[in-house]
A and B are shown apart, each in its own frame.
Chain A
Amino acid sequence: DAKTTQPNSMESNEEEPVHLPCNHSTISGTDYIHWYRQLPSQGPEYVIHGLTSNVNNRMASLAIAEDRKSSTLILHRATLRDAAVYYCILRSGNQFYFGTGTSLTVIP
């Protein structure tokens, strides 16, 4: 199974960077690492994905360890609207394993 491990919850002050870690020690060579987030009472939304190299987009950055067994989602300046559950996901066949994610609280 392509499983991931994340902390249950994290807190950040508004306007500060947030580093959300994820362990995926069973990752295979062709697995992409996906991150989604779920705001309260909404369906998940795409954040970012990567394979080996670090990735940047308008929402976040993804730092991938050299051995690919862990990754970190980086929100450069947390805002109150970033409060959500963040899921680190691997795909195995047709299935995406979402796990329970990290609940991020942003403190004003």
Chain B
Amino acid sequence: GAGVSQSPSNKVTEKGKDVELRCDPISGHTALYWYRQRLGQGLEFLIYFQGNSAPDKSGLPSDRFSAERTGESVSTLTIQRTQQEDSAVYLCASSLGARDTETQYFGPGTRLLVL
């Protein structure tokens, strides 16, 4: 079946512009995660959605970052007034549920470059 998809694959933008990144999770997966991965670094947790519960936004680095999810489907991560330090790969993952044993399935990521 289809895995997690993300779009665009690559995005180049100018400092100060807003960008929107999209994630389509696996159908039926109630949990969705966004991560950021800077070059040569590990993954930083950004935000977590679980069903209709309020999202866990504790990983968002600043108020320029926000994310939404429509029900248990597509999610968008928005970065306003982009800065050069926002350049990174943004990864989305989904899982069937929220139990500790659930496997996360990752998308290929969106590579963001802020000039």
Contact = CB atoms under 8 A, between A and B. Distances in A.
Interface string B38-74: 0001111100101000001011000000000000000
B106 A96 contact: no
Nearest to A36: B104
Contacts of B58: 94-95
A32 B100 contact: yes
Given A32-B100, A46-B103, A95 B43 contact: no
B26 interface: no
Interface in A35-50: 36, 42-46, 49
B20 to A, nearest CB: 19
A100 B108 contact: no
A43 B41 contact: no
A101 B42 contact: yes
B65 to A, nearest CB: 16
Given A42-B108, A43-B93, A46-B103, A94 B43 contact: no
Contacts of A99: 42
Which interface class (under 10, 10 to 19, 20 to 34, 35 or more) fits B?
20 to 34
B29 to A, nearest CB: 14
B48 A91 contact: no
Interface residues of A, number: 21
Contacts of A44: 43, 91, 93, 104, 106
A93 B56 contact: yes
Contacts of A32: 100-101
B107 interface: yes
B109 interface: yes
B50 A94 contact: yes
Contacts of B105: 46
B68 to A, nearest CB: 17
13 contacts: A32-B101, A36-B104, A46-B103, A49-B101, A93-B56, A94-B50, A94-B56, A96-B43, A97-B45, A98-B35, A98-B43, A100-B42, A101-B42
Given A43-B4, A101-B42, 6 more contacts: A32-B100, A32-B101, A42-B108, A43-B93, A94-B48, A98-B42
